Amino acid sequence: MEKVKVGDELTIHCYKHNGKFHRSWEEALVLYIDEEKIIVGNNKTKVTESDGRTHKAKEPAIVILYKNSWFNVFGQLKKKGLFYKCNIASPYIIDEGAIKFIDYDLDLKVFPDGGFKVLDRNEYKYHKKIMGYSDDLDKVLTTELTNLINLKRKEEGPFLKGLIEEYYEKYKLLR
């Protein structure tokens, strides 16, 4: 395993269950790392889609990825406030300078007013069928979605008040 430390610059690579490339983010500046999670930041980074198209993210983001939880969280610092885009996804690995994970379609979007919405249930059902997600995997993923919603309701973990802003300040200092 690669030894990664605060200040290192990585990229983020997202795949689908069938191993196909889905999306990448060019910048992932390491802000924190321990045995459980890595926190990285970027600002208007280049995003590459599976079809090769690229675009720039419109805002800074703080990204929290976990080694033992099946989700990750992108805190997006938009003009209208802090939005969270939470992906139900495999635990991450670091390989050849990239943080890698498998995206499992289900997303939780959290709005600045605290409201939230589960997205992409139909995409999840479709991919579960065509990519052959096992019943055991399905149970893990749906349980983790429930766990993520509970963390949001309690404002714990990645939803702790001020956490994203604190790491954005650290990002600006390191950048």
Q: Average pLDDT for consecutive 10-residue bins of the chain (175 residues)?
A: 90 98 98 98 98 97 99 98 98 98 98 97 96 98 98 98 98 95
CB 26 within 8 Å of CB 99: no
Architecture of domain 9-174: Beta Barrel (2.40)
Instruction: Pick the catalytic residue from 23, 53, 121, 175.
Output: 23
**Encoded amino acid at 103, one letter:** D
**Residue-level pLDDT at 150:** 98
pLDDT at 175: 87
Q: What is the distance between the alpha carbons of residues 90 and 155, in angstroms, rounded to a whole number?
A: 22
Structure-token match 């080694």, residue found? 67
Q: Is 153 a catalytic residue?
A: no
Q: Residue 78: beta bridge partners? A: 81
Which pLDDT does position 121 carry in this prediction?
Answer: 95
